[in-house]
Amino acid sequence: MKVSTHILFSIGLFLVLLPFLKLFAFIPLISAILIDIDHYFYYSLTRKDADIRNTYSFFMQLRQKRDEKKQGSRILYFLAIFHTIEFVVLILILSLFSEIFALITLGIIFHLIIDCIEFMTVKKHLALKSKTIYHYIKTKEEERL
Ligand SMILES: [Zn+2]
């Protein structure tokens, strides 16, 4: 999902929560947007390039090129650490002990649901996020993005 789309949906969530949470509604808004910073971690670590603009154009080109994908060509995987089941389980556990973490988790789950909806509407995928850290570790070098 594009960052701009995530920002729009997250503002929608913020407006729904605002009457109930007051200023605390900013917490899920921010977590729902910042979760995608993991794409930057992956890109900068694997490409040895710390320029965030290059990360953005790298992932934008990926989504533009997916329509040209040939039948049968393999899907590449990458690790977006904040989009993994292990991370979600960790923050769910932390949410049991802290209301702030519960609000962070709310934003993250909201973000993941939107990512999921986009995943289901796109026909071709050039690259996918590994659902678990374990999956990424088990992925062969040539199948990694
Ligand atoms: Zn995402």
Kindly give the distance from the C-alpha atom of residue 81 to the centroid of ligand 1, in angstroms, as a whole number.
10
Per the structure, the complete domain to which residue 81 belongs is given by: 3-143
125 touches 66 (CB < 8 A): yes
Measured CA to CA, the distance from residue 17 to residue 29 in angstroms comes to 10
Kindly give the distance from the C-alpha atom of residue 36 to the centroid of ligand 1, in angstroms, as a whole number.
5
Kindly give the distance from the C-alpha atom of residue 33 to the centroid of ligand 1, in angstroms, as a whole number.
8
What whole-number percentage of the chain has pLDDT above 70?
99
E strand intervals along the chain: 76-78, 127-129
- 36-80 per-position pLDDT tens digit: 999 999 999 999 999 999 999 999 998 888 777 777 778 899 999
Write the single-letter amino acid at 57: S
Say how many domains are in the chain: 1
- 70-126 per-position pLDDT tens digit: 777 788 999 999 999 999 999 999 999 999 999 999 999 999 999 999 889 887 888
pTM of the model: 0.90
Kindly give the distance from the C-alpha atom of residue 141 to the centroid of ligand 1, in angstroms, as a whole number.
23
